[in-house]
Amino acid sequence: MNLLKIMKSRHSVRAFLDKAVTKTDVTTILEAARFAPSGVNTQPWSVIVVNHDYIQQIGKAITTAKEANTPESPDYHYYPTEWVEPYKSRRKACGLALYSSLDITLDQTEKRKIQWYRNYFFFGAPVGLLFFIDAKLEKGSWVDMGMFIQNVMLAAKTLGLDTCPQASLAEHPDIVRKIVNVSQEKALLCGMALGYCDVNHPVNQFRTTREDVDTFTQFLGF
């Protein structure tokens, strides 16, 4: 599969096969991803790779905090405090498509919660990745992290693996840092589920739409 096809076929996978991912494959992915660009070659990425046991610890700890109504304390704000168009409509459409694929209606709050809690268990993937950055670095380095994370997802596809980038895992960074023994000096950007896609699972059948190039691009002088 060529790069353009890989980029277009990548999507967030939320159900995985019970099939192991080797340390060699994870290393191969990160070996390629490390060639992402970064301002003045700062290479700000820091990655913790966790197996099933750590995934269970993280999932149980965060869901316990949720059940206790522990306030979220993210290291940064991923989403706006007030949604405006067109982002508000896109967000709503994404959520509706996700829960509709599982036949979960808006009023089925318990089922919606159970599905949401799967986020914290990396959707059952055999491998989880946690992306950290030195908290002293500025927004430019966070842009670099985005390019590195995209490289990880594209490299995974070349090996027949799928991913789901998860900002939800950064809602309670102190919990995660404690479990994986990471300093407070490192900010948690997100997690990522990594494994083999369960192509027959309903949740993996839906796709979000993308705007046409002409809607977000201006060509000047062409």
Which pLDDT value is given to residue 106? 87
Spatial CB neighbours of 102, under 8 Å, sequence gap ≥ 6: 111, 115, 202, 203
Which pLDDT value is given to residue 1? 65
List domains and CATH numbers for the chain. 3-205 (3.40.109.10)
Mean pLDDT (the chain) is: 97
Which residue type occupies 217? T
**Nearest Cα to Cα of residue 29 among 125, 127, 141:** 127
Distance (Å, whole) CA 193 – CA 149:
12
pLDDT in tens, the chain (222 residues): 699 999 999 999 999 999 999 999 999 999 999 999 999 999 999 999 999 999 999 999 999 999 999 999 999 999 999 999 999 999 999 999 999 999 999 899 999 999 999 999 999 999 999 999 999 999 999 999 999 999 999 999 999 999 999 999 999 999 999 999 999 999 999 999 999 999 999 999 999 999 999 999 999 999
**Nearest Cα to Cα of residue 186 among 141, 148, 149:** 141
Q: Whole-prediction pTM value? A: 0.96
